[in-house]
Structure 1
Amino acid sequence: MTAVKASDVDGLIRRGPDPRIAILLVYGPDTGLVFTRAKALAEAFVSDPGDPFAMVKIDGDVLAQDPGRLVDEAGTVGLFGGTRTIWVRSGSRNYAPAVEAALKAEIQNARIVVEGGDLAKSAPLRTLCEKSPKALALPCYPDDERALADLIDRTLQDQGLRIARDARDILATSLGGDRGASLSEIEKLALYARGQGQVSLDDVEAVVSDVAGSVLNTLIDAAFAGRSGEVERDYRRFRHEGMDPSVMLGSALRHALTLLATRLAGEGQSASQMVANWRGLHFRRKSLVETQLARWSPPALRHAIQLLQDAVLACRRADPDLAHAHASSTLLRIATEAARRR
């Protein structure tokens, strides 16, 4: 078996895989991390990643139609010799036969990096690479707190910056479950703090957004926490700013779906434990979301989701004034229900 533990993947990439390994499968639910690691592995094997003869990119759906192409590309000699990387981007069709053919071939001076999706344990592509001595299967799961802290430190150090411990702790709780989005936020913070030497808590609060949130969080949190007065105030503000009522309802619907998924996944846990496992939740929202999780049961959330879905449909069919009436009344109805559950 050549499956690699998720905690060992970063170290393996830093050291460099055994050059005798021809195929590296990078897969998992964190698409940003999958891309970042696949890119690092693909580029590290060639002297010039910008050379199209040394770095060949193929879409997985293309290989599904022509399984023999992967072996052909791996056996092609570069225009000026040297090593080559074939980077296979994830597709919607099954291209495991192309990878299977490559595992049976003799490949020299070439590395195949396969960017997979969220593959189940029984997925043919994952099974092939885990069982073959010529391949490695590298899982990419959302960063835990320790991995996020390491990512923050390394990324800021590359920019000549340090970060205060309290600032790092708050930053880590504000980052989401996608490595690409997390890196974007850290790099934005580094740009803001350039020349300071150390990133402070004030810098974090000034720059870092809620990766998983939106400008509508105040309105949505007020509704699901049972604060009708705040719902009326915030709704008037957003309407005055010209926001589409279906956009406001859509944000509320996504939040309700996330609340339901969190309640179902955290069965038997307290509201505070469920909040602690909610990646990407901004630290300023935690107490309000904890209140929501404590008040809303899964059946009640399913009912709220149905109300919101019906309201979104009604808004799309109505004129602007009537659409706003549908949206505001639905959010106030949710707030009333939440208050009743206090």
Structure 2
Amino acid sequence: MSIRTTPASLLVTGGAGFIGSHYVRALAGAADAPRVTVLDALTYAGSTADLPLDTVEFVHGDVCDAPLVDRLVAAHDQVVHLAAESHVDRSIEDAATFVRTNVLGAQTVLDAALRHGRAVVLVSTDEVYGSIAHGSWSEDAPLAPNSPYSASKASADLLALAMHRTHGLDVRITRSTNTYGGRQYPEKIIPLFVTRILNGQDVPLYGDGRHVRDWLHVDDHVRGIELVRTRGRAGGIYHIAGGTERTNLELTHALLELLGADRSRITHAPDRPGHDLRYSLDDSKIRTELGYRPERDFSGGLKEAVDWYVRNQGWWSPFSSRP
């Protein structure tokens, strides 16, 4: 998959992670591809194996390393800031790591961008709004995060907006729904359940599985990010949604069916503390202003993702023994 872009020199933080590496590969496939540098700390969920190293420069480093970030931001025209800790369960056990990476890391990037007059796209999440029983959040809805992860992402969003309002910094924020696809570290529900089924294990479903998520294919997500980078307004917030809501139980049934596994493989784990029941984003703004439409059908995209894990056990099996 390639995306249409405009020439520029681009710094992508967190570019060796799931969404970041898909974004970088999509940029590399564009006819008018920008010069891309990836900054990534290569924590447990990042790997240079997912990057087109023949076409991008890779820098191994910490997004909180202010001198390093300053040098890299100064050498590029724009920044797409994806570097983040993103797993809610881990944030419940270790909030400090999330505050450091997600809040201090964002501040470090924003400060450097302000010094050098660079535009920043900050990639965020629907979880900053908390749970919504009916309807969908618009971009002007109040933030009400319920986990350390979402609180850290909301803090980064507010810092970015403050930098725009106080200093006029060109910052654009994307907030997306749950993203899926190949090459996703097996701690999120789809790769976790698929790899457990392939390993002959049961799948631990939180509570009764009634939690609702909207699913967005990673290809659609990176197209949305690129639309915001190339066409978005400074200070703008843009929702990127997939338009496919499923309960976690419905999703689990679909995964079991695709893998020919019986529903007896489901075990019900105690629900996560503070677990949001439903997320839903109104994405009419990015559709109207920037022409975004999700292109990937969920049933086909899910099958493709499952097939990727079936074919690439060598990629994910080393992760099975990681904490």
TM-score, length basis structure 2: 0.31
Structure with the larger strand share: 2
Larger radius of gyration: 1
Structure with the larger helix share: 1
